[in-house]
Structure 1
Amino acid sequence: MTVRKGDKVRVIAGKDKGKEGKVLRAYPEKQRVVVENVHMIKKATRPSQRNPQGGIVEMEGTIHVSNVMLVCPNCGQPTRVGRRREDGVRIRVCKKCGKDIDK
Structure 2
Amino acid sequence: MNRLKKGDEVIIITGRDKAKKGSISAVLSGDKVIVDGINLVKKHVKANPMTGEQGGIVSKEMPIAASNVALYNPETQKADKVGVRVEDGVKVRFFKSTGKAVDA
TM-score by length of 2: 0.85
* 8 A Cα contact 1:8 1:70, kept in partner: yes
Written as runs of structure 1 = structure 2, the 5 A alignment for 1:1-103 is: 1-27=2-28, 29-48=29-48, 49=51, 51=53, 53-103=54-104
Q: Which amino acid aligns with 1:31?
A: D
TM-score by length of 1: 0.86
* Equivalent residues, number: 101
Partner-residue secondary structure (3-state), 1:66: helix
Partner-residue secondary structure (3-state), 2:83: strand
Which ranges of structure 1 fall in alignment gaps of 5 or more residues? Answer: none
Q: How far apart are the structure 2 equivalents of 1:94 and 1:58?
A: 34
Q: Supply the RMSD in Å over aligned alpha carbons.
A: 1.7
Q: CA deviation at 1:93?
A: 0.5
Which ranges of structure 2 fall in alignment gaps of 5 or more residues? Answer: none
Q: CA deviation at 1:44?
A: 2.3
Partner-residue secondary structure (3-state), 1:71: strand
Q: How far apart are the structure 2 equivalents of 1:2 and 1:73?
A: 17
